[in-house]
Amino acid sequence: MLQFSAQQIAMMIQGKVEGDASVSVSQFGKIEEATAGQISFLANPKYEEFLYITKASIIIVNESLVLKQAIPATLIRVPDAYAAFATLLTKYQELKTQNLTGIQTPSYISTTAKLGENHYVAAFAHIGDNVSIGENVKIFANVVIGENVKIGSNVILHPGVVIYADCVLGNNITIHSGSIIGSDGFGFAPKADGSFQKVPQLGNVIIEDNVEVGSNTTIDRATIGSTIIRKGVKLDNLIQVAHNVEVGENTVIAAQTGISGSTKIGKNVMIGGQVGIAGHLNIADGIKIAAKSGITKSFKEANLTLTGNPAGEHNASLRAQVYMKNLPNLEKRVKELEILLAQLTQKG
């Protein structure tokens, strides 16, 4: 179990210690539940009440925080407590895995595969022919890497990940358990008799640097060319990315979203959960898509906020929802007017 003092932690996250710099912790805890020997953080003001009653030994706080009373815990002040805590968790995870090296048995590594220094291959992993793997790559149990795959450095493949043949992964990538990279795109040509003929999927998947892929996410290989996940993209669990899709830099996509084939998504796009995006569309840079929206057309103006099904610009969609909500009352009023008009006509 790793243990660090407040002074050491402050150096990691470039913070300033307020209190006993020698106090040490070995675990993380939520501020409302933390105990002695744990470190926590306070970023959301609605949890400030717990700052004065928590038993955490060290708390990371914003440097702008003004204490309402004295507390026994040691504080580490930083510009952004949430970001600093995320940095600390990342460094802790790196320290936990950096000592994992070597090859466990049973596992299969082709004689033509090339592995860089400080690699770790867990039992029951399979690495195919002509695979190239960089330095500090961690491959956990039951990972399958197909032939001709290229993987950069500082990559973590969690248990059960499958990388199909010919795919290319860059540096600093994490792929979580059960995800499949490079399975066939959904390509079937209708025939005259009503059946479907499979269209061979001959392309690959390219994942650039600094990408994270959540558990049980699937990224299909291109029919021809490449399905591309650009650098800095973050994909949640249970996402479907179809063949020939391109996801732009630093885009984030929440769980259960499905992106149909050949759609191009721009940079810095934010997509909520359960969004459905039709094929062959273009989504401009900086667009935000609300959860459960259905995207049926291209949006080429940057930085829009979209919602609804079919999705439209946020304010217009909200107005449409109000109108839809009032339709029953409107229908009732129309019927009443029809009756009144009929009565007036008879009297006339």
Q: pLDDT class for 348, splitting at 50, 70, 90?
A: low
Whole-number pLDDT of residue 341? 87
Sequence ranges of the domains in the chain: 4-97, 164-313
pLDDT by residue (tens digit) across 129-142?
999 999 999 999 99
Q: pLDDT class for 347, splitting at 50, 70, 90?
A: confident
pLDDT by residue (tens digit) across 70-121?
999 999 999 999 999 999 998 888 887 777 899 999 999 999 999 999 999 9
Neighbours of 124 (CB within 10 A): 16
From 142, 277, 162, 275, select the one nearest 217 (Cα to Cα). 162
Q: What architecture (CATH level 2) is domain 164-313?
A: 3 Solenoid (2.160)
For the record, the structure tokens of 170 come out as 């860059």
Whole-number pLDDT of residue 90? 87
Question: Residue 144 in contact with residue 163, Cβ under 8 Å?
Answer: yes
- Give mean pLDDT, residues 1-8: 88
pLDDT by residue (tens digit) across 201-232?
999 999 999 999 999 999 999 999 999 999 99
Angle at 167 between CA 189 and CA 203, to 5 degrees: 25
Q: Report the percent of the chain where pLDDT is more than 90.
A: 85
Residue 34 confidence (pLDDT) above 70? yes
55-66: string of b/e by CB count within 10 Å (b at 16+)? Answer: ebbbbbbbeebe
Q: Across-strand partners of 139?
A: 121, 157
Whole-number pLDDT of residue 324? 73
From 278, 303, 306, 308, select the one nearest 292 (Cα to Cα). 308
pLDDT by residue (tens digit) across 266-277?
999 999 999 999
Report the Cα–Cα distance between both ends of the chain, in Å, rounded: 93
Whole-number pLDDT of residue 330? 84
Annotated catalytic residue: which of 158, 176, 243, 314?
Answer: 243
For the record, the structure tokens of 238 come out as 């249970």
User: d(Cα 306, Cα 299) in Å, to the nearest integer?
Assistant: 9
Question: Residue 293 in contact with residue 312, Cβ under 8 Å?
Answer: no
Q: Which residue has the tokens 């090339």?
A: 114
Residue 313 confidence (pLDDT) above 90? no
User: d(Cα 42, Cα 85) in Å, to the nearest integer?
Assistant: 9
Q: Is-catalytic flag, 158?
A: no
Q: Which residues contact 51 (CB under 8 A, 6 or more apart)?
A: 31, 42, 59, 61, 67, 71
Q: What is the CATH number of domain 4-97?
A: 3.40.1390.10
Strand, coil or helix: what is 312? strand
- Give mean pLDDT, residues 330-342: 86
For the chain, what is the total number of helices (H) and then of strands (E)?
4, 40
In 173-245, the DSSP E strands lie at 174-175, 180-183, 188-190, 196-198, 204-207, 212-213, 218-220, 226-229, 234-235, 240-241
Rg of the chain, C-alpha, whole Å: 27
Q: Report the percent of the chain where pLDDT is more than 70.
A: 99
Residues in the chain: 348
User: d(Cα 127, Cα 125) in Å, to the nearest integer?
Assistant: 7
User: d(Cα 200, Cα 193) in Å, to the nearest integer?
Assistant: 20
Whole-number pLDDT of residue 1? 60
pLDDT by residue (tens digit) across 176-201?
999 999 999 999 999 999 999 999 99
Whole-number pLDDT of residue 127? 98
Whole-number pLDDT of residue 183? 97
**Whole-number average pLDDT of the chain:** 94
User: d(Cα 161, Cα 151) in Å, to the nearest integer?
Assistant: 14
Neighbours of 178 (CB within 10 A): 18
User: d(Cα 329, Cα 314) in Å, to the nearest integer?
Assistant: 24
Residue 339 confidence (pLDDT) above 70? yes
The H or E element spanning position 93 is helix 81-97
Whole-number pLDDT of residue 315? 72
Residue 2 confidence (pLDDT) above 80? no
Whole-number pLDDT of residue 23? 97
Distances (CA, A) of 173 to 15, 39, 46, 222, 308: 27, 27, 34, 20, 33
